Chains A and B, each alone.
Chain A
Amino acid sequence: MLKLTSLNKTFSKQSALTDITTEFPENQTTVLVGPSGAGKSTLLRSLNFLERPESGQYEFNEINIDLSKPIANKTILSVRRQTEMVFQEYNLFPHLTVLKNVMEGPVQVLKQNKNKARIEALELLKKVGLGDKADSYPNQLSGGQAQRVAIARSLAMHPDYILLDEPTSALDPELELEVLKVLLQIAKEKQSMIIVTHNLEFARQVADKVIFIEKGCILYDGEVEPFFNSENKRIKDFVSAMTFSSIA
């Protein structure tokens, strides 16, 4: 279980996240939604310390961190080994083949046996539908393929949580669909995920829990259907704008 209490984060004196208290249940998918610049990505990136919140309490498995104090490097590394980030821009390692991208973490960080890591990496690539791309380089892939490799790379670490930062925002609808299918499959397998997305249709399908953030504050934190049927004016406006239902 990953739990935050009163987390605060500022960027050069501007408040980015204010008093965030929430939890991310295990074996479930939590979706973070909200307008651009609301702080969704900052919150996600704070979860594996790519951003450093200034205060609050961070609880993750046996790790309990007071964010207002310096954090030991060892603790950060340990958190990062148990959480994997999938980025909007994929961030594959361009100088490594697809297979080596997936093997890099297990071999270098988890010190797994190379052969074992290779076999597992090939299985994961098959799982995301890219069994035939193992020897390609990232720049030979389409965006959708690159993102699926990034997902395989994160799965290879057997993380407790996969953090996905707008994983399909850079993709056209057709390529987006191939990535979303993979994510739905992973969600079905009870992999804990936290996803920042603008795609509310997808959010509705995949999520077990929705968190709506605006101006750095949580406005909604709870079950999926009540969110989409909310009578709250702000949420209603947001949902209808994002699903184009207001056009008709």
Chain B
Amino acid sequence: MWQIITNSFPQLLAAGLKYTIPLTLISFVLGLILALITALVRLSNQKGFFYIVKAIFRFYVWLFRSTPLLVQLFIVFFGLPYLKIKGIFPDGIKLEPMTAGIITFSLNTGAYCSETIRASILSIPEGQWEAAYSIGMTRAQALRRIILPQALRVSLPPLSNSFIGLVKDTSLAASITIVEMFEVSQQIAAENYQPLIMYSLVALIYAIFCTVLSWLQGYLEKVTSRYISANGGGNV
């Protein structure tokens, strides 16, 4: 058994480093950017034409939270090639597996994280906005200098949840022909007839990745909470 593990471990780890980690990191960064934009649009108090923009973003969040991630992957990778629009996509939209994966994971993460960010911004007391406005800040300045730094602290644990969730969700990319870690473990298991060992091993590697991320979360929480931990609670 030991030999099976030592033989396949490097292969799995290589797949993890080559596909799982880049897929996770790129998708999460893009997803976060999208999430921040979505949250800010949905929180904006602009009226008129902007209402339509808001509605579009609301629809986006609804769509990606209401359908299974696996189905989303299938639509983007297997479905879009059949979306033939004369003049724009005469041959349908054909995406590389990795591109399709990144697009889907980013959109999915963005939808979930936008709610996290929106809630964390809403959790900052109104008095902070008022104090910022009172020293003459614009809304953008107040957001950037006063609200978002505090919202970041609040949103770190739930955002870490999403990040760790995404690491594991990338295993679904196996179904759109990306040779990531889980796909490799399936291939090896098909050769050596050791599914228990292979799937346990790949589970262990996912667990290691996620544990490292949990440590990172703990560290970031410490850094962003310096001003709170100074004395716990108190006058702000």
**0 or 1 for each of A95-111: is its CB under 8 Å from B? (1 = yes):** 11000000011001110
Distance (Å) between the CB of A103 and the closest chain B CB? 11
Q: Mark B125-140, 1 if CB is under 8 A from A, else 0.
A: 1011011111111100
Are B227 and A94 in contact, CB atoms less than 8 angstroms apart?
A: yes
Interface contact B233-A87, CB-CB below 8 Å: no
Decide yes or no: A109 and B135 within 8 Å by CB, A93-B128, A95-B227 being known contacts: yes
Chain B's closest residue to A101 (CB) is B131
From B131, B145, B230, B232, A92 is in contact (CB under 8 Å) with B131
**Chain B residues with CB below 8 A from A139, complex form:** 227-228, 230-236
Q: How big is the B interface, by class?
A: 20 to 34
Q: Mark B209-236, 1 if CB is under 8 A from A, else 0.
A: 0000000000000000011101111111
- Whether B149 sits at the interface, judged by CB under 8 Å, is yes
The distance in angstroms between the C-alpha atoms of A135 and B32, with both chains bound, is: 33
Is A48 on the interface with B (CB-CB < 8 A)? yes
B146 CB within 8 Å of chain A: yes
Chain A residues in 8 Å Cβ range of B125: 91
Whether a CB of chain A sits under 8 angstroms from the CB of B141 is: yes
A37 to chain B, nearest CB (A): 19
B134:A48 contact, CB within 8 angstroms: yes
CA distance A141 to B227 in the complex (A): 12
Query: Is A140 part of the binding interface, using a Cβ–Cβ cutoff of 8 Å?
Result: yes
Tell me the minimal C-beta distance from A186 to chain B in angstroms.
17
Contact among A87, A109, A137, A142 for B131, CB-based, below 8 A? A87
Which of B127, B134, B150 has the most chain A CB within a 10 Å cutoff?
B134
Q: Shortest CB–CB separation between residue B61 and chain A, in angstroms?
A: 28
Q: Which residues of B contact A80 (CB under 8 A)?
A: 133-136
Interface size class of A (residues with CB under 8 A): 35 or more
Beta-carbon contacts of A174-206 to B below 8 Å, as 1s and 0s? 000000000000000000000000000000000
> Once bound together, how far apart are the Cα atoms of A83 and B228, in whole Å?
30
Within 8 A of A (CB), among B76-117: none
Q: Establish whether residues A91 and B235, one from each chain, have CB atoms under 8 Å apart when the complex forms.
A: no
Across the interface, do B135 and A104 meet the contact criterion of CB distance under 8 Å? yes
Chain B residues within 8 Å of A40, by CB? none
Chain B interface (Cβ within 8 Å of chain A)?
A: 125, 127-128, 130-138, 141, 145-146, 149-150, 153, 226-228, 230-236
User: Can you list 12 contacts pairing A with B, beta carbon distance less than 8 Å?
Assistant: A48-B133, A50-B133, A80-B136, A81-B136, A91-B125, A91-B236, A108-B135, A138-B235, A139-B227, A139-B232, A140-B230, A140-B231
Other A-B pairs beyond A93-B132, A104-B145, 11, CB < 8 Å: A48-B133, A84-B135, A96-B227, A110-B136, A137-B230, A138-B234, A138-B235, A139-B233, A142-B235, A146-B235, A153-B135
